[in-house]
């Protein structure tokens, strides 16, 4: 397995202390750059309540979107892990709510992904599988598969993910996630390769595997912060795993998520095992939110 630098350094920015990667090329793909602040001379009033600024009513910049607000509209300090701030920073109410949701993602899902889970791994079209631990690298850029032979996939090279679920559960219950199929392009190649992960037979390991697979669907593909006038420093994202009722009594239903370079959430469909060529049946309007 190639060496992936995880070195960090403490830097001071106008907004506060940040713990960032020593080499910017190895920043987490979930990270956001600090926004360009709206110049003071362009801020005559709060951009939320429109209260005019004066010697008493001071202006403050939201550390996430860069817009200026009064203390009432931007007085709360909230953790902002996507910008790697050491301490909570001042944010407007809208950005603060978004950051709080993301903090839950970092506190729970990221830890699950980095800790990893055992799977039965099949490479390509091989009929042989090996037990390996699948985990996210510390800098969140790679999917590592640790076993007798180590293997890695760069997240940015993943084309699509197909989630395998057990559709034999009792009526009215959600199907259990039991594995996933990953299509990706190896570094330096345009050939599409296939990687399959299946939960092991151990009931305890199945529970860990399901949590890990569900966490994969909280993974964000960040959208760059736009102009300071934007309401939020937002992001496109791969939505969490959606509860989809079984369309048959067969063992597996495939839920397809296609990742595009410009839009993280492209197409959601269901593969019915009986459809020739595993043709995808579109489900227009089916959405999930973070």
Q: How far apart are CA 66 and CA 53, in angstroms?
A: 17
Instruction: Kindly state the tokens that stand for 75.
Output: 């007085």
Instruction: Kindly state whether residue 27 falls inside one of the protein's structural domains.
Output: no
Residues 6+ apart with CB under 8 A from 39: none
- Among 112, 139, 160, residue at a domain's last position: 112
What pLDDT is stored for residue 37 in this prediction?
Answer: 94
What pLDDT is stored for residue 261 in this prediction?
Answer: 35
- Whichever domain contains 85, its CATH number is 3.30.40.10
User: What is the C-alpha R_g of the chain?
Assistant: 22
pLDDT in tens, 15-52: 889 988 877 777 888 888 899 999 999 999 999 999 99
The whole domain housing 69 covers 33-112
Q: CB of 270 within 8 A of CB of 283?
A: yes
Instruction: Kindly state the tokens that stand for 109.
Output: 């899902």
Above 70 in pLDDT, residue 5?
no
Angle 206-210-213 (CA atoms, 0-180°, nearest 5)? 135
Q: How far apart are CA 78 and CA 183, in angstroms?
A: 37
Nearest CA to 235 out of 21, 48, 19, 64 is that of: 64
Tally of CB atoms within 10 A around 182: 18
Tally of CB atoms within 10 A around 63: 27
Same domain? 105 vs 145: no
Nearest CA to 32 out of 9, 65, 72 is that of: 65
Residue positions counted in the chain:
290
Instruction: Kindly state whether residue 4 falls inside one of the protein's structural domains.
Output: no
Q: How far apart are CA 64 and CA 222, in angstroms?
A: 14
Instruction: Kindly state whether residue 24 falls inside one of the protein's structural domains.
Output: no
Quote the mean pLDDT of the chain.
Answer: 75
- The H or E element spanning position 151 is strand 151-154
Distance between start and end Cα atoms, the chain:
33
Above 70 in pLDDT, residue 283?
no
Residues 6+ apart with CB under 8 A from 46: 53, 59, 68, 69, 70, 72, 73
pLDDT in tens, 129-164: 999 999 999 888 999 999 888 889 998 898 888 888
Instruction: Kindly state whether residue 207 falls inside one of the protein's structural domains.
Output: yes
Q: CB of 94 within 8 A of CB of 232?
A: yes
Overall pTM > 0.85: no
pLDDT in tens, 193-225: 999 999 998 889 999 999 999 888 767 444 333
Instruction: Kindly state whether residue 88 falls inside one of the protein's structural domains.
Output: yes
Residue 184: pLDDT band by 50, 70, 90 thresholds?
Answer: very high
Q: How far apart are CA 1 and CA 159, in angstroms?
A: 21
What pLDDT is stored for residue 44 in this prediction?
Answer: 93
Same domain? 42 vs 56: yes
Same domain? 255 vs 185: yes
DSSP 107: I
Q: CB of 197 within 8 A of CB of 129?
A: no
Same domain? 131 vs 261: yes
Query: Percent of the chain scored above 90 by pLDDT?
Result: 38
Burial letters for 85-104: b for 16+ Cβ neighbours within 10 Å, e otherwise? beebbbbbebbbebbeebbe
């Amino acid at each position: 397995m190639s060496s992936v630098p995880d070195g960090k350094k403490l830097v001071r920015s106008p907004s506060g202390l940040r713990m960032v990667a020593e080499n910017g090329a190895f920043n987490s793909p979930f990270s956001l750059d600090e926004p360009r602040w709206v110049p003071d001379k362009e801020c005559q009033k709060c951009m939320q309540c429109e209260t005019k600024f004066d010697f008493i009513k001071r202006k403050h910049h939201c550390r996430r979107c860069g817009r200026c607000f009064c203390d009432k509209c931007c007085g709360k300090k909230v953790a902002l892990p996507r910008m790697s701030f050491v301490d909570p920073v001042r944010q407007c109410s809208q950005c603060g709510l978004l950051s709080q949701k993301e903090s839950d993602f970092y506190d729970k899902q990221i830890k699950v992904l980095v800790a990893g889970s055992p799977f039965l791994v099949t490479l390509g079209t091989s009929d042989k599988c090996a037990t390996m631990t699948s985990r996210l690298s510390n800098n969140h850029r790679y999917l590592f598969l640790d076993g007798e032979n180590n293997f890695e996939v760069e997240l940015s090279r993943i084309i699509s993910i197909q989630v395998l679920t057990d559709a034999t559960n009792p009526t009215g219950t959600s199907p259990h996630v039991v594995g996933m199929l990953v299509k990706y392009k190896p570094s330096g190649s345009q050939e599409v390769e296939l990687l399959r992960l299946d939960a092991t037979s151990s009931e305890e390991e199945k529970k860990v595997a399901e949590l890990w697979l569900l966490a994969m669907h909280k993974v964000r593909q960040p959208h760059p912060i736009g102009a300071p006038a934007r309401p939020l420093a937002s992001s496109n994202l791969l939505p969490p795993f959606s509860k989809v009722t079984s369309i048959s009594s067969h063992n597996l239903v495939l839920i397809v998520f296609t990742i595009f370079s410009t839009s993280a959430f492209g197409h959601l469909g269901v593969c019915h095992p009986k459809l020739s060529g595993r043709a995808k049946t579109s489900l227009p309007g089916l959405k999930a939110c973070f």
